[in-house]
Amino acid sequence: MVQALIEQCYNFGIKNVIISPGSRNAPLIISFANHPNFKCYSIPDERSAAFYALGMARKLNEPVAIICTSGTAVLNYAPAIAEAYYQEIPLIAITADRPPFMIDQEDGQTIRQHNIYANHIKFSTTLPILENDENLTIGEKEINTALANALNFPKGPVHINIPFEEPLYEFENIDFIQNKKSIEIYIPKANIKIKQELKTICDSVDNIIILSGVSLPNSELNEKINSLAIQKNIPVFAPPTANLFGDNIFNTVDSLFYALSKSNPDKYKAELLITIGGPVVSKVAKQHLRKFKPRFHVDIDVNPRKINTYDALTEQINCNPIEIIDYLLENASSKKPDFLELWQNKNHAVKKSANSFLSQVAWSDMKLFNTIFENINQSIDLHLANSTPVRYAEFFAKHPLINYYCNRGTSGIDGCTSTAAGAAIVSKNKTLLITGDISFFYDSNAFWNRHVPENLKVLLINNKGGNIFKVINGPGNTDLLNDFFVTKQTAKADKICEAFDIDYLKLENEHDFVLLFDKLMNSKCACVLEVFTDSDLSANAYRDFISAIRS
């Protein structure tokens, strides 16, 4: 059965395999690690390993396999599996298991692994254990179905569970594969009737908004959507995490929608909303669109799952957005420029207010982010940890030298560092992770392996707690803010870096930041720069910034 698995993994384009040590998975370790067609990495913490693979798969846009032993090791994959499911990333979870007759018999490292990731997996199978001809045929079919599901749109994680009987270490190396088979991947296309219906809607309305959520960098999409925005007078809203930018593309989505609260927000209402990409981070943008609903909302996505974020969905088109943009460029009529100019004027006013505020704000998280973006002078991959880092970044226009990444599938803090490290391993770019202290310490095992890449740079903002809860509405209205929401802590990163042999820098004086940031970005190996900020001052600056752009 392992022979069949190896062959199919190779056929489906898997090149990178992340292995966590164990005993029950010994046949898998021996087979993959000794095979010349796979690059294998050993990462002991299964939760971290799975996020490493997620970062790799997202950066490479190809499947990555993860292999672990039986028992709770399998459960540790669950956070990354859920994130991959909602980000549509092809993770191939291959888990070793005990034979069926040992389940629930008080044997070590034995749990119910069959379909263990139910609700967050595209396909799951447990292979038969007895290797007769009939079971080999069944196993080969199940493996093929699993890998095809991972790569067909929408892409996503799959689970292949393999029971092994002892002996485990007398496993013979399998024959090396020389010939790769051609695998056909299905990509959904829109039919002409749906395109014509969208054109009819476009031509019937006075104004259109295009809103993009989190997306991977795509130069073709950026070029096409810029052409559409300019030629058809359509405002495009794309936060930096959408990786789109241009003359009619508004990046500071959060700021813009905050600024509408005192500006007759109903006049900014769209008749047609077209959405592309993944989740939108901005809560205030979502609230606005739910309150001032468009007449029509058309979502364009390869994923057939109905996404009705704004409670206004009228049509979903399953295809690559570029296909629809090309069609509209050729066939849709241009809109009058009035609506676009309305947004351009608002954007200009917001930018002016933001710049005025940032020029005089005291040292705080807000000032820190502004200084970071002012001092990036080379092409980088920027990973933004969840909680405040991704929110702060969206107050600033997309930097032309930056590719933005963030885990917004489930938006957890649990694997942000591991994801960035995994992506850095397979990236030619310098990779900067901006993270908060809770996220950093939560995922410190990201450094507990011998594969931490030299191009990984971490800027750690340590404000001694989860400052997000001082920013969002709700927790501050209770008397439990500091004890149970903020997670007050006094930890510092220096000893963690020492333990894992990671270079460490610490900002002692705010005036030295530019010097230390340059030192971080040009360090010859993986490095952490820890910056301490005052949590109360930072929370006040965040709220004052919003007040400034609203005025």
Q: What is the CA radius of gyration of the chain?
A: 25
Q: Would you kindly state where each structural domain of the chain is located, as residue ranges?
A: 2-163, 192-347, 361-550
Amino acid at 313: L
CA distance 265 to 413: 34
The answer to whether residues 124 and 97 touch, using CB atoms and an 8 Å cutoff, is no
Q: Residue 122 has which token pair?
A: 């595209």
> The domain 361-550: what is its CATH number?
3.40.50.970
The answer to whether residues 414 and 435 touch, using CB atoms and an 8 Å cutoff, is no
The domain 2-163 belongs to what CATH superfamily? Thiamin diphosphate (ThDP)-binding fold, Pyr/PP domains (3.40.50.970)
Q: Residue 175 has which token pair?
A: 């024959």
361-550 matches 2-163 in CATH topology: yes
Burial 417-441 (b: 16+ CB within 10 A, else e): bbbbbbbbbbbebbbbbbbbbbbbb
- CA 211 vs. chain centroid, Å, equals 18
Amino acid at 310: Y
CA distance 374 to 395: 14
Please say whether the structural domain 192-347 has been given the CATH code 3.40.50.1220.
yes
Angle at which helices 535-550 and 338-358 cross, to 10°: 140
Q: Residue 198 has which token pair?
A: 């969208």
Indicate whether this model's pTM tops 0.75: yes
Dihedral angle at the C-alpha atoms of 424, 427, 432, 434, nearest 10 degrees?
-60
The answer to whether residues 339 and 235 touch, using CB atoms and an 8 Å cutoff, is yes
510 backbone φψ class: left, alpha, beta (φ>0; ψ -120 to 50): alpha
- CA 444 vs. chain centroid, Å, equals 19
Written as tens digits, the pLDDT of the chain (551 aa) is 888 899 999 999 999 999 999 999 999 999 999 999 999 999 999 999 999 999 999 999 999 999 999 999 999 999 999 999 999 999 999 999 999 888 888 888 889 999 999 999 999 999 998 778 888 899 999 999 999 999 998 999 999 999 998 777 776 666 666 666 677 778 889 999 999 999 999 999 999 999 999 999 999 999 999 999 999 999 999 999 999 999 889 999 999 999 997 778 889 999 999 999 999 999 999 999 999 999 999 999 998 889 999 999 999 999 999 999 999 999 999 999 999 999 999 999 999 999 999 999 999 999 999 999 999 999 999 999 998 999 999 999 999 999 999 999 999 999 999 999 999 999 999 999 999 999 999 999 999 999 999 999 999 999 887 666 656 676 666 665 666 666 777 889 999 999 999 999 999 889 999 999 999 999 999 999 999 999 889 999 999 999 999 87
Which residue in 58, 65, 74 sits closest to 2, CA to CA? Answer: 65
Give the DSSP letter of residue 266.
G
